[in-house]
Amino acid sequence: MTTQTIRFFQRNALREVHDVPASRTVLQHLREHDQCTGTKEGCAEGDCGACTVVIGELDAEGQPVLKAVNACIQFMPTLDGRALFTVEDLRAKDGTLHPVQ
């Protein structure tokens, strides 16, 4: 089964993904489709944290709520209407790495 259009904010732009298998993980999409290889696969079970990304959405008052999730067990349809932040988003515009990197 494939999904309908999934819309989410990533890298300062609205992204649209079409006909994605409902079981495709955020990690698979990042590494295979977006070539964002900073998010790693470690245990593939959500235990080690190598695949941690941040998902953002607005609460009832319109305030942003950020949540760290494991991309290896987060399915693509859960991104619809949200924002996705990865380790690549920490790099400064001049290319300087963030201390976390």
Predicted structure pTM score: 0.87
pLDDT in tens, 21-55: 999 999 999 999 988 888 889 998 989 999 999 99
* Domain boundaries of the chain, sorted by first residue: 6-90
Comparing 88 with 93, the larger pLDDT belongs to 88
The CATH number of 6-90, from 1.20.1260.10, 3.40.190.10, 3.40.50.920, 3.10.20.30, is 3.10.20.30
Rg of the chain on CA atoms, in Å: 14
Angle 48-21-57 (CA atoms, 0-180°, nearest 5)? 60
- Within 13 Å, how many C-alpha atoms sit on residue 17's CB side? 23
